[in-house]
Chain A
């Protein structure tokens, strides 16, 4: 039986970001972007920071940003578990910009000290996240 759409859920510890029927979804897997269409084989994948683009069953396109997580697909039901996730329309560009600046400043500081690798990783991660939010947030604004 060939279905034309499948259910996608995007869940974070704080809330359910998205739950609906979609025709396709593209996610940032740990080694490159990956697309999922209906009737996909069962799959479990690790995700990193990046955009999730969704084509809803009605044809509408939707953009979201997630930070780290997992994708599970089985029986035309896809589930994304992410540490954090936001819809493009909810992104506060000003806040993302501030976060990016903060992360950059942190990295600069630690770049000199050359210690504290965890803080460095965290800053880099924050920067990545902020940049993706910015990119997607402004894309939506320019439309």
Chain B
């Protein structure tokens, strides 16, 4: 049995850690609510733009936009990986990186030269460590990235694509299903696939149904002109939405991780308190025995 003193010190340090983790849990919970709202309120726009594209591409002549053309051969591909700035959020970052790493290997095995564009400091650090070919890092903190910054980055990737430097662009982020469930998702961005827009995400049905309506639209000024505006906008929005989803997931993951840590601290301090009380009791019993033995010796 450990000494009473050591047990007391451990109990205190566990109590302190518990204080920290439970505060972090609360903070993450509050942030999660805000970020969840942000992620969810961006969805109507994203889905509306997707439906619009599906309709325009149906009537637009083939090759209406170079972004729709499928390249003959993919030599270079850019993978955008969105992760967190910080850790302490369970397996959140690890899950994304595992999936990224696997995809990179698969593609390289297929003879494609892979480049990475990172969002989030953890992401930048990881790909630096595994010596991936990094095309660029978005150095802003993920939480503070504005739409315009994202649009700029997407714009430069689109330029790279149009100039033929890369033939494919995909994005990997964590999709926020709910406060307790989120999963890494790989979504193709370029070449633009108007129909299969949601990638691996569930709930694509509503889009397909809505797009099958009337198709004899009046296009002002012309399908080509609308596509020229609509496609880049949709790409920007998808990247931005990916960041919002990832942020909401990150805080959900952090909240859960911190809750687990707090619970674990509770369990541990309960066990240690028990042990501490036992040790204390044993001490008192020992002292009593000494006194009684001493008294008896004197009387005898």
Whether B1 sits at the interface, judged by CB under 8 Å, is no
B221 and A81 contact, CB distance less than 8 A: no
Whether A109 sits at the interface, judged by CB under 8 Å, is no
Chain A interface bracket (under 10, 10 to 19, 20 to 34, 35 or more) = 20 to 34
B36 to chain A, nearest CB (A): 14
A30 and B221 contact, CB distance less than 8 A: yes
Whether A41 sits at the interface, judged by CB under 8 Å, is yes
Q: Which residue of B is nearest A42, CB measured?
A: B217
Q: Which residue of A is nearest B234, CB measured?
A: A81
Measured between beta carbons, the chain B residues less than 8 angstroms from A9 are: 44, 48
CB contact between B220 and one of A15, A43, A74 (< 8 Å): that residue: A43
Measured between beta carbons, the chain A residues less than 8 angstroms from B45 are: 11-13, 81
A46 to B226, CA, bound (A): 6
A72 and B214 contact, CB distance less than 8 A: no
A43 to B46, CA, bound (A): 19
Majority-rule SS of A interface residues: strand
Whether B272 sits at the interface, judged by CB under 8 Å, is no
**Given known A43-B220, A46-B220, A46-B229, contact A14–B42 (CB-CB < 8 A):** yes
Measured between beta carbons, the chain A residues less than 8 angstroms from B220 are: 29-31, 34, 43-46
Q: Which residues of B does A touch, CB under 8 Å?
A: 38, 41-42, 44-46, 48-49, 52, 55-56, 147, 213-214, 216-221, 225-226, 229-230, 233, 237, 240
Q: Knowing that A14-B42, A81-B45 are A-B contacts, what are 14 other residue pairs whose CB atoms are under 8 Å apart, sorted by A's residue number?
A: A9-B44, A11-B44, A13-B46, A14-B38, A16-B44, A30-B225, A34-B220, A44-B55, A44-B217, A46-B226, A70-B229, A79-B48, A79-B52, A81-B49
24 contacts between A and B (CB under 8 A): A11-B45, A12-B45, A13-B237, A13-B240, A30-B225, A31-B220, A31-B221, A41-B218, A42-B216, A43-B217, A43-B219, A43-B220, A44-B226, A46-B220, A46-B225, A46-B229, A70-B49, A70-B52, A70-B229, A72-B52, A72-B55, A74-B213, A75-B213, A83-B233
